[in-house]
Structure 1
């Protein structure tokens, strides 16, 4: 009696197949019964995808690879040690790097993209009414990649015409050359542009100081040896003070005030200012004519010393710039591809075949599940209630 009760209790906890749904073997059996249909639809979906791919226009991909400008060791690292405070300016500028990502950003700029669109009339090729639409489609057809190890930049262009794809890829390199020639990107170019501007401004001031000196008159009695030496010393010291301030402005463009270089520059400026104040306090009080002439002479020597410092910096920057050679060196130029890159018919057929296989298997299992549900009285009643809800 106890044994019978145990069996009855055990049977109450054993779920039926209908309650748990079809098992894995039952589902496999459903699919095995329709294997011919599954194979036919799978092959048909793949074949249909391959057939449709023949109706699509072929796409060709052309690519070019080039080496962006490389940062070189500047000649100023040793030659500018004799230029006083301006020597630190070259070292500060040398810390300004132009990573390859910057050149990739230039390639993706609207400046370059619009010139490519105009050159190849891509707005007509893409049948785009708006220039922004042509830009977007061009961006989708062009890919830029940067090698992390070798530093090479690659440009891949997709187009229905193999020749046009190659021409567009090569034109990107030419447009980058044009844009980099207009912009100061490298360290030497930045220094050359900076000192060229400073040199032009100082040349104007030097000419004005010279004219003022000549207009004041000259006499051997007015300019003795001691005032002349004092004026030249003062002018040279003031030029160094100005150069130190220029260096400080440059450092502050990319360093915080807490940086060691900023504090050193401020200390150097303060020391030079103390020397200038000391020389000014020791200057004897001469006649009005003499002090006026010596003041103009001192200003002339100051501009002359500053012009000499900037001239040497400018020449060294030009020399460094010339050493960089060709900024962009093409490793592999783009050539018209002889094979299409899209559509890839085999991959397309396999992908759609796999999709068809999944859909037909899912559909067969769903139909079998609905059939089982209609055979079960409880499930059938639930289906009738569900359908009746829409009628009510």
Structure 2
């Protein structure tokens, strides 16, 4: 016998074996067809009766758009200046706001309001409030659109009109709760800004007083102009000194003839030198007339060596006063806006779609219930028939093995009874 013939013979044996197994299964199915058909038809009929007894349920949906709170202060400047990142921050805030509103809708206070208004405890015929809360939660659904943050509020109920009224009442309660939260936040913000405004006002007065005292002490009003005047004054005095020195040199040529004039010119040069020193370094000799002259000039001239330090101090004081003035303006604006927000009493929720009574039921899906019940019953009955046939075959072919299986089932049953 060739190898091909051997392979062909094995394949034919396998085919025959499969045909025998299939025929055996078909025989079993035909022998038990009445059981299978009765069980399947019974399940189908029962599921049909149950589905017809189930009440029709209707779903009404309202859609709302949470408002974007007005941006003020630093956060507004950041989001406007950062472009794409600012847009991302705004999207994150919108998402957070929608989640916050869904949290309000799921709150116990909102549930209590609906239960009281629509008499849900009596309607659901439940003794304990815990069960009423769970049933209301099961019949309510809140979804947030990822694209635009729109919140969909859906309520399922036997009465389509009541379902719409409950969905709309959810929106009404959300608006009331949000108004209350916003009013509390506005009041806290206004009180905080009120205290902050008082402090900023005091800081501004202190900065202005410090600048005024500094200017009065050093007679300093404009460092650039006064430095320019001091330079021009020093140049004028130096020119007078040079001219007087020249005149003195000319008088020396006459010897003692004009000695008195020479002494007067020498005194004048010394006086001019003192004035120049007073302008340059801010000091002078202990001459009464010179001191009086320097005090007179000090009203106009800034000593050169003091210009950098005084200029730095003046710049710092002016900058501090300017900063406090700007802060005062910002806080005042925020304070006025907070008072306006606190006084507002308008709707905070934008209704896109009111819930309307649906004209088509959403549940139960009777055809689906009957179909799935029928298919499940058919699979269960067929599995049961084949399992019984399998046990019968073992009982006939191997009674000892069948007894072991039977003992195992009995042992498990007794064990379960002992546990109970």
Match of residue 401, structure 2, among 371, 382, 389: 382
- Tell me which residue corresponds to 1:122: 120
Indicate which of 331, 346, 353 corresponds to 1:332: 353
Instruction: Name the counterpart of 1:198.
Output: 192
Q: Which residue of 1 aligns with 2:363?
A: 342
CA offset at residue 117 of structure 1?
1.7
Relative to 1, partners in 2 of residues 1:201 and 1:318: Cα closer, same or farther, differing over 3 Å? closer
- How far did 1:384 drift? 3.3
Encode CA deviations 1:114-163: one digit per residue, 9 max, x unaligned: 22222222222223333332211111111111222343221221222222
Q: Please state whether the residue corresponding to 2:358 is helix, strand or coil.
A: coil
Partner of 1:241: none
Q: Secondary structure at the match of 1:144?
A: strand
In 2, the alpha carbon distance for the partners of 1:142 and 1:382 equals 56
Map of 2:133 onto structure 1: 135
Deviation at 1:346, TM superposition (A): 0.9
Instruction: Tell me the residue number matched to 1:227.
Output: 213
Whether contact under 8 Å (1:198, 1:310) holds in the other structure is no
Secondary structure at the aligned position of 2:53 is classed as: coil
Tell me if the contact between 1:199 and 1:307 (Cα under 8 Å) persists in the aligned partners: no
Aligned residue in 2 for 1:88: 74
Contact 2:194–2:335, Cα closer than 8 Å, also in 1:
no
CA distance in 1, matches of 2:342, 2:55: 48
> How many angstroms apart in 2 are the aligned matches of 1:224 and 1:164?
71
Please state whether the residue corresponding to 2:146 is helix, strand or coil.
Answer: coil
Structure 2 residues not aligned, in runs of 5+: 80-85, 218-311, 412-420
Question: Would you say the 8 A contact 1:202–1:306 is kept in 2?
Answer: no
Deviations 1:150-200 (A, max 9, x none): 432212212222222111111111111111112249xxx97x666523332
Aligned to 2:380: 359
Contact 1:53 1:343 in 2 (8 A): yes
Counterparts of 2:116 and 2:53 in 1: how far apart (Å)?
30
Distance 1:350 1:387 in 2: 36
Q: Which residue of 2 aligns with 1:104?
A: 102
Structure 1 residue runs without a partner (length 5+): 77-86, 214-222, 232-276, 283-297
Cα separation, 1, equivalents of 2:407 and 2:325: 102
Cα distance change, pair 224–351 in 1 and its aligned pair in 2 (3 A): closer
- Inter-partner Cα distance in structure 1 for 2:130 and 2:216: 66
Q: When you count helix as a share of all residues, which structure comes out higher?
A: 2
> Corresponding residue for 1:30?
28
SS in 1 for 2:360: coil
Q: CA deviation at 1:227?
A: 2.7
Aligned partners of 1:199, 1:160: CA distance in 2, in Å? 52
- The superposition leaves residues 251-280 of structure 1 with CA deviations (integer Å, 9 ceiling, x where unpaired) of xxxxxxxxxxxxxxxxxxxxxxxxxx968x
3-state SS of paired residue (1:54):
helix
Count, aligned residues: 293
2:29, 2:385 within 8 Å by CA — same for their partners in 1? yes
CA distance in 2, matches of 1:335, 1:139: 20
CA distance change for structure 1 residues 330 and 32 in 2, over 3 Å: closer, same or farther? farther
Within a 5 Å distance, the mapping from 1:57-96 to structure 2 comes to: 57-70=55-68, 74=71, 76=72, 88=74, 90-91=76-77
Residue 41 in structure 1 maps to residue 11 in structure 2: no
Contact 2:140 2:154 in 1 (8 A): yes
